[in-house]
Structure 1
């Protein structure tokens, strides 16, 4: 996806304006069905036109052109186990992000965009299925590993 955004940014100066809109998966059912047809290799319904790509339409950046990062000294890493659901619950309830997360940062985008697919019921987090509408209970990682 990053390669596509880079290509769009190259063309940006050719237009008077550019807007990129994220479409929530629930509002993108037609495209979701088409992508499933391709991945399952099912027969295409009549009236649907198919254009097969035999090679990528965008060239990925070559690893040789990327500057190698300078070697860093060994560092100790400490991990803090935090329940993944808390960020979503806080954002859905109060529209607030955790401390240290800027509203325009990549971390914020990883919370704000997916939060549209979640709902709170009695302060418990549930995920809404994209096309099915099925509501699934979200559990902590430890409980998910037990299941």
Structure 2
């Protein structure tokens, strides 16, 4: 963050008005989640030799309609299904293509996962 601050300080002469606000991490849930996702990234090496591929039938991803509705505004053609999805999607947020459910009582986001 110090490097970003230094760049902004160099550019501040080009603006009429500049204001900084420090937001503690516990009050900035989206940033906290993004920082955790970034720390989980690892470098993956891929073996270029061909191998046999086993095809399995993937289970339906219950999250897909929510993600499509929130990010792309895509919804089912059935009016009742559309209304249900619109109503339920207010409890969810998409961050970096991942679906999170908002807790009703606080600002905690819970990552939505596939059922096993």
Q: What TM-score comes out, normalization by structure 2 length?
A: 0.46
Q: What TM-score comes out, normalization by structure 1 length?
A: 0.37
